Amino acid sequence: MRADNNLPIASCREGSNMSLYEVLSNAPRSELSVCVGIDPTPTSLSAWGLDDTAKGARKFALTMLEAAADTVSLVKPQVAYFERFGVEGYAVLTDVIKEARQMGLLVLADAKRGDIGSTIDAYGAAWLGKTAPMQVDAITVTPYLGFGSLAPLLNRAHDAGAYVFVVTRSSNPEGTELQEHGNPKIWHKILDDIADWEQSRGNRTIGAVVGATVPSDLKYALDRLPEAYFLAPGIGQQGATYKDVIGLTDDRKRIIISSSRALAANGPKASDIRAAIYRS
């Protein structure tokens, strides 16, 4: 599938039982992977004429799924925008995840969980594996309680065939001071930890979040973890474009570009959002 501007983007999932790793590793090397972010922000809901409620978030999310289906492989609901509605928001999110997976879309929960080992295991139970109430294909985590603290969740992901994106170099400018601190830099050390874990477990469970807004860092990460997949948020609203990242590697599918608010700005018609996915 090709974008209007001739930039290649990934085609959709071919078998609903395939894991994110299997879908991406079978994708053509020439195509970037594309993720549709689902962020029911107050601004986006208002622009679509929806109430800033769980009901509004449901309508918004289902429309984003309609735009994504048969167009991309992957959607990324931002958990925070559902969590803010409490139990009703979680009910909507659970339905949206189920609906997306039934449509053949892979779901990446942008939950950014991180905690001590016993607690991160509970987060794993919530999101990963067949018994999880909100089972997803992938999740984001933060490693700032120590990479080793993530082990119980990583083990669950490995056993379930799910994928974990560890935040290493975030897309926001405030991340730089902390993540670039030290020698080696903190985020380089996290990449080393990912490499060690993956080497011992078969290279199919952990990738990283590296912002599309920091393309030279994304290039470093692609080279450091040659088997891994990278979630690259920041396309659109945060100023990055497809062109910033497309030349970073020949194996373009390893870069999963992600856009949320900028795509939603083309709504509320699913067909208009779908057209924008090809244009970004």
Residues annotated catalytic, as ranges:
112
User: Quick one: 7 or 210, whose CB is closer to ligand LLZGTKA7?
Assistant: 210
| C-beta of 28 vs 239, nearer to ligand LLZGTKA7 | 239
Of residues 25, 238, 241, 266, which one binds ligand LLZGTKA7 by CB under 6 A? 238
Residue 217 binds to ligand LLZGTKA7 (criterion: CB under 6 A): no
The reply on whether position 135 binds ligand LLZGTKA7 by CB under 6 A is no
Among 11, 63, 170, 179, binds ligand LLZGTKA7 (CB under 6 A): 170
State the minimum distance, in angstroms, from the CB of residue 36 to ligand LLZGTKA7: 10
- Residue 267 is a binding residue for ligand LLZGTKA7 (CB under 6 A): no
Instruction: Work out which of 40, 211, 215, 267 binds ligand LLZGTKA7, going by CB under 6 A.
Output: 211
DSSP secondary structure string for all residues of the chain? -B-TTS-BBPPPPS-TT--HHHHHHTS-TTSBEEEEEE---HHHHHHTT--SSHHHHHHHHHHHHHHHTTT-SEEEEBTHHHHTTHHHHHHHHHHHHHHHHHTT-EEEEEEEE---HHHHHHHHHHHSSTT-TT--SEEEE--TT-GGGGHHHHHHHHHHT-EEEEEEE-SSTTHHHHHT-TTTTHHHHHHHHHHHHHHHHTSSSEEEEE-TT-HHHHHHHHHHSTT--EEEE-BSTTSB-HHHHTTS-S-GGGEEEEESHHHHTT-SSHHHHHHHHHH-
Nearer to ligand LLZGTKA7, 140 or 205 (CB): 140
